[in-house]
Amino acid sequence: MYNLKINHAAVSRFFTAFFFIIGLIFTGCDRVAPPQACGPVPTENQLRWQEMEYYAFVHFSLNTYTNQSWGYGDEDVNLFNPAALDCRQWARICKEAGMKGIIFTAKHHCGFCLWPSEYTEYSVKNAPWKEGKGDVVRELADACKEYGLKLGIYLSPWDRNYADYGKPEYITYFRNQLRELLTNYGEIFEVWYDGANGGTGYYGGANENRKIDRTTYYDWKNTYKLVRELQPDIVIWNDGGDRADLRWVGTEAGFVGITNWSLLNGTGEVDWGMLHFGLEDGDSWVPAEVNTSIRPEWFYHPGEDAKVKTLPKLMDTYYNSIGRNATLLLNFPIMPNGLIHPNDEKAALEFAQAVKEAFAVDLTDKAKAEASNIRGNTKKFDASRTIDNNKDTYWATGDSVTTASLIIDFGRPATFNRFLVQEYIRLGQRVKLFKIEAFTGGAWQELATATTIGYKRILRFPTVEAAKLRFTITDSKSCPVISNIGVYDAPQILTPPTIIRDQAGEIHITPADAESEIYYTLDGTEPSKESKKYSVPFQSEGKLEISAIAYEPSSGKSSPVTHEEFDLPRKDWKIVGIHDEEAYAIFDGDPSTAWHQHKDKKMPADLVIDLGQSLNISGFKYHPDMGLWGPGMITDYEFYVSKDKRTWKLVSEGEFPNIRNNPLWQMKQFLPENARYIKFRALSNTENNNNIGYAEVDVITN
Ligand code: FUL
C-alpha cells in the first residue's frame, strides 16, 4: 500500500497557478489596467439620456388657438377646447418613429398650464375642455407609459400671465409648479426651462415690460437642488447661462457644431460658440441637445401644412445632430383639435424608415479589425472590440499614444458611404482629429477627415468600393478609447429643388444635384415627370404658386415637392434715399443674401420703399439675415404706409417673437390699405445695438 500523504496547501497553490495561467491564455492579459479617465466624464443620468438619442418635443397651448408663436398672457382660457385630443395618438406616432420619449410644454411663455395647477386659475381647470376636469399632462403620462416612452416636462420660466413675474414671489410659484409636475406624474426623464426670459406681457393686467437679471433672478442652484431631490434620475436642460446637465446648441435650425465637445466650464460666461461647439478644455460634462421643429415654427399654424420638413432635410438634421455627438429633440406642433397633423406623422415615419434603411446592414459584422497599437497587447483592448456589438468593450492604446490607426478588412470588395464611430465616453471625450481612407486601386484614398467623435460620430461621403477601410486618429487629448465602429451603404435620397423669384420676376429652380431633372406645376397640383420640364429661368407675372420636384432618370426616383407662393413681383421697387446697389439683395428672392443698414444708422431706423405703383396692401413679410455673426435681426418694429411719402399711417406694430432662435419669414397682416410707399421701422434688434439686417422684405397684396 502506498502511503499517500497529500499536501493540501501545495495542491491548492498548484491549482490557483494553473487556473490563473489558463485565465491569462483565454482573456489575454487581464492585469493590464484600463486607461484612466481623461477630463470630465458623464454621470449615469447623462449616459442614460445620451443613449436615448432621439425623442420628441410637443408644443400645445393657447397659442395653438391664436396662430401665435408666443402668447402675451391674456389669451382667453375658453379657447382651449380640443375636440379630439388624443395623447395616445402622439405616443403611438413617437413610438413608431423610433423615439424614446416626449417632452411636453406643460407651460409655455403665456403662462397657461396644461395641468390643473393648484397655484393659478390660468389653466385647463378653467377651460371648457372636459368641463375643467381635464389634465393633458396626466393623459400624456399615461400614454407614454402604455407605449414604453419616457416623459419630459417643459416649464417656461418666463410667465407673461402671472402678476408677480419679476418679483421674488414668482420664484416660489415657479417651484411650486415644478413640485406638482415632478411629484404627480411618475418618472420624468428631462426638465426643459427655455432661454426666452423677460419682456412685455399681461402680468395679471399690468400690461408692461418686465426685465429680469437672468444671472440672479431664478436662483437656479436651489431650483436644481429641488429637481434632483424630487427626481433623482432626471437630466436638467438650460440654455447655457446656468450650467445644467445638458446644453442648448445656440440654434433651433437642427444642427450642432461640426466639432462638438461635450464639455463646458462650470462657471463663467458662455458664448454662442461654446454652446455650438462645446469647449475642448471645459471642466464639466455638459453634452449637446439639438432641438428643432418638424415644421418651421414650434406651435401649429395651418399655413405651414405644406412646410413640413422633407425627408432629405430630416436626414441632414439626423446626421448633424445624432451624427455629431448630440441628441435630437424633434418637435410636433399639435393641431387645435388635439392631434398631430397627418403630414407630420407621414414625415416622421418616412424619416424613421430611411434611418432604418441607412443603417440596416453593418459591413463590419463580417469583417476583421486590426490596430496599429493595442494597450498591453491584450485581447481585452484589441481592435476586435470595436466591432463586437458590445458597448462596454473598447479598443485602447498605450497611455502615451495619441495617434493610432485601425484597419477594417471586409475580406472582399464592399460598397459603402457612411462611417460610424463611438468613443467609450465613460472615460471622457478624447479624439481631436481623425481621418478615414479606403484601399482602392492599390492605394489608400482619403474619404473624409473630421475632428471630434464623442458618444457618436457619423461621416457621409460619396459611395466607394473597397476591401479595406483605415481609420486613423491623428490627434487625441489622451490615448484613444473606441467602443464601436460601423460601416454602411445608405441608399441615396434625392433633395427637393430650391425655387427663387428674383426682383425682375424671373423664376429660378435649382436642384441640389446637377444630374437631376426638374419638373414643375403652376396650378397647385403635385408635379411628376409628366409635368412641365424646367430648363432655364423663366419670366413670371402676378401672384404665383409653384411646385417642383427633382427627378433622377437613372433610378426613376423623385425628390419631395418644393412648394412656394409668391406675391406680386418686386420689379419696380426702389429703396428710397439709399444709393447702394447691394441693398437690392433684399428683393432678390434669396434669403441667404442679406443687406445691412449703414452702421451709423441709429434705432429707430427706417427702411422706406417705393413700390412703383399704388397697391392694396394687407400685410408684409420680413426675412432676417440668417448669418451666424451679427445678423442684426429686428425684434420690435412699426410698419407704416403712405400714398405720397409725406403722410404716413401706422398699420402694424409689435414684435417678431423667437426670431433669434428661428430666423425665418416673419409675416404680419392688417386691414387692407391702398398705398404706394411703405416704411418699415426697426425699434430694436436681437443684439441690443444698432445693427439692422434684412435678407428679404415683401408685401402681401389683396
Ligand atoms: C424657444 C421658445 O421661445 C419657443 O417658443 C419654443 O418653445 C422653443 C423650443 O424654445 O426658445
Q: Which residue ranges form the domains of the chain, and what is each CATH number?
A: 44-357 (3.20.20.80), 363-488 (2.60.120.260), 498-566 (2.60.40), 574-701 (2.60.120.260)
Q: Which of 68, 193, 252, 332 to mutate for ligand 1's pocket (most ligand atoms within 8 Å of CB)?
A: 252
Q: How confident is the model at residue 203 (pLDDT cuts 50, 70, 90)?
A: very high
DSSP state of 383: G
- What's the rounded mean pLDDT across residues 177-184? 98
CA of 156 to the centre of ligand 1 (A): 9
Q: What nine digits make up the cell of 259?
A: 466639432
Burial letters 276-291, b for 16+ CB under 10 A, else e? bbbbeebebbbbbbbb
pLDDT at residue number 148: 98
Nearest-CA residue for ligand 1 atom 10 is 194
CA of 298 to the centre of ligand 1 (A): 7
Ligand 1 pocket, 251 CB below 6 A? no
The pLDDT of residue 93 is above 80: yes
CA of 660 to the centre of ligand 1 (A): 10
Atom of ligand 1 nearest to the CA of 57: 9
Atom of ligand 1 nearest to the CA of 59: 7
Ligand 1 pocket, 194 CB below 6 A? yes
Atom of ligand 1 nearest to the CA of 657: 3
CA of 53 to the centre of ligand 1 (A): 21
Ligand 1 pocket, 46 CB below 6 A? no
User: End-to-end CA distance of the chain, in Å?
Assistant: 119
CA of 340 to the centre of ligand 1 (A): 18
DSSP state of 163: T
Q: How confident is the model at residue 239 (pLDDT cuts 50, 70, 90)?
A: confident
pLDDT at residue number 8: 55
The pLDDT of residue 12 is above 70: no
pLDDT at residue number 112: 98
CA of 159 to the centre of ligand 1 (A): 13
Place of cell 429637481: 227
DSSP state of 511: -
Q: Which of 55, 59, 156, 298 to mutate for ligand 1's pocket (most ligand atoms within 8 Å of CB)?
A: 298
Q: What nine digits make up the cell of 406?
A: 485601425
Atom of ligand 1 nearest to the CA of 298: 6
Ligand 1 pocket, 199 CB below 6 A? no
Q: What nine digits make up the cell of 35?
A: 486607461
CA separation for the pair 344, 356 (Å, rounded): 18
Ligand 1 pocket, 452 CB below 6 A? no
CA of 84 to the centre of ligand 1 (A): 25
Confirm if 426 and 47 have CB atoms less than 8 A apart: yes
Q: Which residues contact 36 (CB under 8 A, 6 or more apart)?
A: 399, 427
Q: What is the pLDDT of residues 268-305, one digit of tens each?
A: 889 989 999 999 999 999 999 999 999 999 999 998 99
pLDDT at residue number 66: 95
Helix, strand or coil for residue 666? strand
CA of 629 to the centre of ligand 1 (A): 21
CA of 692 to the centre of ligand 1 (A): 23
DSSP state of 150: E
The pLDDT of residue 387 is above 50: yes
Q: Which of 194, 292, 293 to mutate for ligand 1's pocket (most ligand atoms within 8 Å of CB)?
A: 194
Phi, psi of 345 (to 5 degrees): -60, -45
Q: What is the pLDDT of residues 435-483, one digit of tens each?
A: 999 999 999 999 999 999 999 999 999 889 999 999 999 999 999 999 9
Q: What is the pLDDT of residues 649-679, one digit of tens each?
A: 999 999 999 898 889 899 999 999 999 999 9
Ligand 1 pocket, 197 CB below 6 A? no
DSSP 255-292: ---SS--SEE-SSS---HHHHHH--TT-SEE--EEEEE
Q: Give the strand pairing for 246-247 and 235-238.
A: parallel
For 146-169, the three-class secondary structure string (H helix, E strand, C coil) is: HHCCEEEEEECCCCCCCCCCCCHH
CA of 658 to the centre of ligand 1 (A): 7
Q: What is the pLDDT of residues 121-135, one digit of tens each?
A: 999 999 999 999 999
Q: What is the pLDDT of residues 518-533, one digit of tens each?
A: 999 999 999 999 999 9
Which amino acid appears at position 99 of this protein? M
| Average pLDDT in the chain | 93
pLDDT at residue number 2: 37
CA of 260 to the centre of ligand 1 (A): 23
CA of 596 to the centre of ligand 1 (A): 26
CA of 140 to the centre of ligand 1 (A): 20
pTM of the model: 0.85
- CA dist 462 → 447, 448, 459, 465, 654 (Å): 8, 10, 10, 10, 48
Q: How confident is the model at residue 419 (pLDDT cuts 50, 70, 90)?
A: very high
Ligand 1 pocket, 63 CB below 6 A? no
CA of 236 to the centre of ligand 1 (A): 16
Ligand 1 pocket, 521 CB below 6 A? no
Atom of ligand 1 nearest to the CA of 299: 5
Q: Is the peptide bond before 663 cis (omega within 30 degrees of 0)?
A: no
Nearest-CA residue for ligand 1 atom 6 is 298
CA of 512 to the centre of ligand 1 (A): 30
Place of cell 417678431: 656
Q: How confident is the model at residue 57 (pLDDT cuts 50, 70, 90)?
A: very high
- What's the rounded mean pLDDT across residues 244-270? 94
Atom of ligand 1 nearest to the CA of 291: 9
- CA dist 474 → 123, 260, 332 (Å): 56, 17, 41
- What's the rounded mean pLDDT across residues 387-411? 97
- What's the rounded mean pLDDT across residues 249-277? 94
Atom of ligand 1 nearest to the CA of 195: 11
- CA dist 74 → 13, 19, 63, 214, 523 (Å): 82, 76, 11, 24, 41
pLDDT at residue number 14: 56
CA of 194 to the centre of ligand 1 (A): 6
Percent of the chain topping pLDDT 70:
95
The pLDDT of residue 136 is above 50: yes
Helix, strand or coil for residue 584? helix
Q: Which of 334, 661, 666 to mutate for ligand 1's pocket (most ligand atoms within 8 Å of CB)?
A: 661
CA of 413 to the centre of ligand 1 (A): 48
Atom of ligand 1 nearest to the CA of 658: 3
CA of 315 to the centre of ligand 1 (A): 22
Helical axes 342-358 vs 87-96, angle rounded to 10° = 20
- What's the rounded mean pLDDT across residues 137-157? 98
Atom of ligand 1 nearest to the CA of 70: 5
Place of cell 460658440: 273
Ligand 1 pocket, 298 CB below 6 A? yes
CA separation for the pair 507, 306 (Å, rounded): 20
Confirm if 340 and 349 have CB atoms less than 8 A apart: no
Ligand 1 pocket, 196 CB below 6 A? yes
Confirm if 556 and 513 have CB atoms less than 8 A apart: no
Ligand 1 pocket, 661 CB below 6 A? yes
CA separation for the pair 30, 525 (Å, rounded): 67
Lowest mean pLDDT among 313-317, 351-355, 491-495: 491-495
CA of 60 to the centre of ligand 1 (A): 12
Ligand 1 pocket, 658 CB below 6 A? yes
Q: What is the pLDDT of residues 63-86, one digit of tens each?
A: 999 999 999 999 999 999 999 999
Lowest mean pLDDT among 7-11, 127-131, 152-156: 7-11
Atom of ligand 1 nearest to the CA of 331: 9
Confirm if 186 and 164 have CB atoms less than 8 A apart: no
Confirm if 490 and 499 have CB atoms less than 8 A apart: no
CA of 12 to the centre of ligand 1 (A): 68
pLDDT at residue number 660: 85
